[in-house]
Amino acid sequence: MRTSQTEKDIFGLFMWYVVALIISVSGGLAIFAARQHAQAVHNMLLERSETVAAALDSNDVQQLQGKTSDGKSAVYAKLKTKLADIKATNSNVRGLYLTGERNGRLFFYVDSEKPTSDYYSPPGEWYDDATSEFKGIFTTGRPVVEGPVKDDFGTFISGLAPILDESGKKVVAVVGIDLDASKYYQETAVATLPPILSGLSLLLLITFFEWSRRKSKQLLTLRSELVSVASHELRTPITGIRWAAESLQHTVTDPRALPMIRAIYNSAVSLQTSTDDILELTHAMKQQQAIIAPADLTALMQELVDPQILAAKQKGVDIIIDESWPKQLVIACDVNKLKRALNNVISNAIKYTRDNTTVTIKYTGDEHNHHILIADEGIGIPIAEQAKVFEGFYRASNAVASKIPGTGLGLYLVKIVVEQQGGRVSFISDENKGTVFTISLPRRTTK
């Protein structure tokens, strides 16, 4: 199906809207997942640091002096063993430590690391990389989580909790638990992967759909152009064959030759009709802009029906313009495009209806649209094939089986020219009972 430029613009804007929506939603979900993970880590560090602080005896801590000599004391060894044991049971913890405060500077009491470790801090070593938030715990007595923070030991996220004296009023030390920031970033990335991958999958699916849609259109357009070129080249020789066969029918008297000449003539007429359909389709595709002007639809319908009466009578078919038609009905439309559409639907109705039946043409209208209904009593369209009726070069299986000639372009052309002027075409069909096609055109102000 070929769409107008306006429809292309609307579809393009819609696709961009869908893409933007997917990016926004998946991005929002990824941010939400990252924040949820950050909150989970925050809560975990806060809980663990407070648990460790509660597990350490403040009296033991107060026995330390924050000097190198602490390393030889039994209390230091006891606290260091506790911190090392806690670290061993928490595989994601990089290190634990106790810090004190002296004259506004922080120093290390004890940590969980072996003296050979790069992260080891001997007792009494100053910690001048401490943040103001870290230092503030000695004043506020409130636990905090900070980070990622970079210092001489690396980049960490830290849970910090105060150890209070027996009165519960004075902070004697702050226990710290460090998580390696690189692991935190990795875990955050893993947490955000599901929404990001879902968004990317949807974008890939939409991209594939759009690529397939455009490819199909390109192939159909290319096929139409190739057929159009061939049709142009065939038109002249076909016309010559038709004229020659028509002349022979009037001059040849041999009864044995006449059936062959008639067959040649009928084949030429059929081929010329197909060629004209293809050229008309090519013209309609190039002339996409509708030229809207007032036209008397009642008079136009009679003008279209009159030339069809002879073909209908040959099958014993009556063409009835229903009493629902007003005597005069002026509408705003593209007259030439509407003629093409109505002529194709009426001729199809005559072609596919059974002999000695009726083709009925009705009119209805509502607040927004004019509706033209063309009903036949023919072979109908199989339900399984109805979705393909308006595809280019497609013919229903029962139409092919009936040996009735056709290109499969008639209804494709109808849909194009109707939609080019803002209308739509639809149908209801029962196989072996008949079909009703409805062409709907929008009501416009006529001047």
pLDDT digit string, tens, across residues 316-363: 999 999 998 899 999 999 998 899 899 999 999 999 999 999 999 999
Q: What is residue 4's predicted lDDT score, i.e. its pLDDT?
A: 46
Long-range contacts of 295-298 (CB under 8 A, 24+ apart): 295/330, 295/331, 295/332, 295/333, 295/335, 295/338, 296/328, 296/329, 296/330, 297/329, 297/330, 297/331, 297/333, 297/363, 297/370, 297/372, 298/325, 298/326, 298/327, 298/328, 298/329
pTM of the predicted structure, to 2 decimals: 0.47
Q: Is the pLDDT of residue 433 over 90?
A: yes
Q: What is residue 268's predicted lDDT score, i.e. its pLDDT?
A: 73
Give Cα separations from 179 to 41, 130, 160, 186 (angstroms): 9, 16, 12, 12
Other residues' Cβ atoms within 10 Å of the Cβ of residue 317? 24
Average pLDDT over residues 415-436: 94
Q: Distance (Å, rounded) from C-alpha 126 to C-alpha 73? A: 20
Residue carrying structure tokens 């069809």:
308
Q: Distance (Å, rounded) from C-alpha 402 to C-alpha 399? A: 5
Q: Is the pLDDT of residue 406 over 50?
A: yes
pLDDT digit string, tens, across residues 244-268: 778 887 787 777 777 888 778 777 7
DSSP-derived pairing of the beta strands 171-180 and 318-321: unpaired
Q: Distance (Å, rounded) from C-alpha 444 to C-alpha 304? A: 23
214 vs 401, higher pLDDT: 401
**Cα angle 13-18-20, degrees, rounded to a multiple of 5:** 90
pLDDT band at residue 22, thresholds of 50, 70 and 90?
A: confident
List the structure tokens of 243: 């004229």
Give Cα separations from 99 to 116, 126, 227 (angstroms): 20, 9, 86
pLDDT band at residue 421, thresholds of 50, 70 and 90?
A: very high
